Structure 1
Amino acid sequence: MKLYRKYLAKLANKDEVSASAKEAVREDPESVVWSKLSDDRAQEIMEKIKIRYPEVYDLIVKELYRAIKQGIVNELDGLTLLSIARNIGLDIRPDLRIRFVKNGKEVDMKEYLGK
């Protein structure tokens, strides 16, 4: 009876391992990384990396995916992604945006200045 339980436990463990391996194969690393981008700036920087450095983009996605799966990274904001890009030597410059916020709402310059 003990041998039978061990055999069933081994089969169950084998099924779990193969199921998780199949699940990992079906999961697209790029979509996982893009789902963890927390703001518009991060998406903009990833798009610029993809366009200007396609060979490096694949490596970045692969490493970020690995860090996400290991639990090292929960989400990525634009500043973090920009510092990663600059630390590996990529010349990425985000678009300059000037926003005027008055009472918690984004307004144009005339309304902000009170004219």
Structure 2
Amino acid sequence: MLKKIMLRIGFIAAISLVSNGAYAADVNNGKTLHQTKCYQCHAEKSGLGNGDIIYTRSDRKVKDIKRLKSQVGMCNTQLRLDLFPEDEADLVAYLNQQFYKFK
């Protein structure tokens, strides 16, 4: 029981750190997560076998950092990727650095 409580407290603390901007994103972890959790689905969705093309297409949905965060969160929830909030932040940081270049 105590272990569950401690895990829940840790999860809440992580959410607080990420949402307050106190978490320093790990771009390398974001890259790893992208390769293991995102790339294959995006490659299949593109129909071209290239999972990166979804980020660079002219009709992309993501136009700013807020939408990027929202999209990563939506994929995590709908596809049950089991990413923690800091993993989402790492993934957003990687995608932004690699493809979007939002400020």
Normalising to structure 2: TM-score of the pair?
Answer: 0.31
Normalising to structure 1: TM-score of the pair?
Answer: 0.28
Q: Bigger relative contact order, structure 1 or 2, given CA contacts below 8 A and separation 6+?
A: 2
Higher strand share: 1
Larger radius of gyration: 1
